[in-house]
Amino acid sequence: MKAHTKETQATMTPEKALNFLKEGNVRFQNNLKANRNLLEQVNDTSDGQFPFATILSCIDSRVSAELVFDQGLGDIFSVRIAGNFINEDILGSMEFACKLAGTKLIVVLGHTACGAVKGACDDAKLGNLTKMLAKIKPAVEAVKEPQDTSLRNSSNSEFVDNVSAKNVQLSIDRIMKESDVLSEMQSNGEIDIIGAMYDINTGAVDFYE
């Protein structure tokens, strides 16, 4: 499989980009990698890059977007931060990726058993981590069940995963609210912005379409 070119990127649509990711995840789940020569792709992308999607994901070592979607060099922009939340630097990176570099799809990818989400659920305190986890706390507060405070912590895996899913949605809401560039592009059909959840037990990605 060749690296994307200006010509192949030009034929891409948000729907086609999503299908590329879905097909790649199916290959990943079945341990069937696309046939690509990475050293050849190094050469092919040396004069430019033409990725088709931008993926915001967690720093978790088990959730590498290039691997779980079976993509090669020059295929996707990968933005990673613990808890896959939004800030102005990440928004700026996404605006560059879509408006200037031509990607057609933004995916906010959460995952099950997220350590950052667990920390926010437990109100963990540790140096700069304290301020970082505060950015995930709105998702914790937005999940209303269970109401029993003894069950609203990292030991309750269902609660943790529900908070992760809510965090994805709140991140998308922030993109739409805080980036006129991206919200306008989506309104015009130039890009799509969707959420997804990666299951660390199965390798499957569930897209929120």
Q: Which CATH architecture has domain 6-208?
A: 3-Layer(aba) Sandwich (3.40)
Q: What is the pLDDT of residue 3?
A: 80
Tokens of 65: 């977007």
pLDDT at 101 (0 to 100)? 95
Q: Is 60 annotated as a binding residue?
A: yes
114 is in an annotated binding site: yes
User: What pLDDT, on the 0 to 100 scale, is given for residue 8?
Assistant: 85
Alpha carbon distances (Å) from 103 to 52, 70, 80, 147: 4, 17, 17, 41
* Per-residue confidence (pLDDT) for residue 5, from 0 to 100: 80
Rounded CA-CA distance 99/54 in Å is 12
121 is in an annotated binding site: no
Q: For position 124, what pLDDT does the model report? A: 95
Residue 14 has a pLDDT of: 97
Q: Which residues pair with 57 in a beta bridge?
A: 80, 109
Q: In what order do the strands lie in the sheet with 105-111?
A: 76-80, 53-57, 105-111, 192-198, 205-208
**What are the pLDDT digits (tens) for 107-122?**
999 999 999 999 999 9
What is the pTM for the complete model shown?
A: 0.94
Pairwise CA distance, residues 180 & 172, whole Å: 13
Q: Which of 37, 26, 43, 54 is nearest to 1 (CA)?
A: 37
Which ranges of the chain have pLDDT less than 50? none
Tell me what pLDDT residue 4 has.
82
Give me the pLDDT at residue 40, please: 83
Handedness of CA 180, 182, 187, 193 (dihedral sign): negative
Domains of the chain, by residue range, sit at 6-208
Residue 103's pLDDT is what? 97
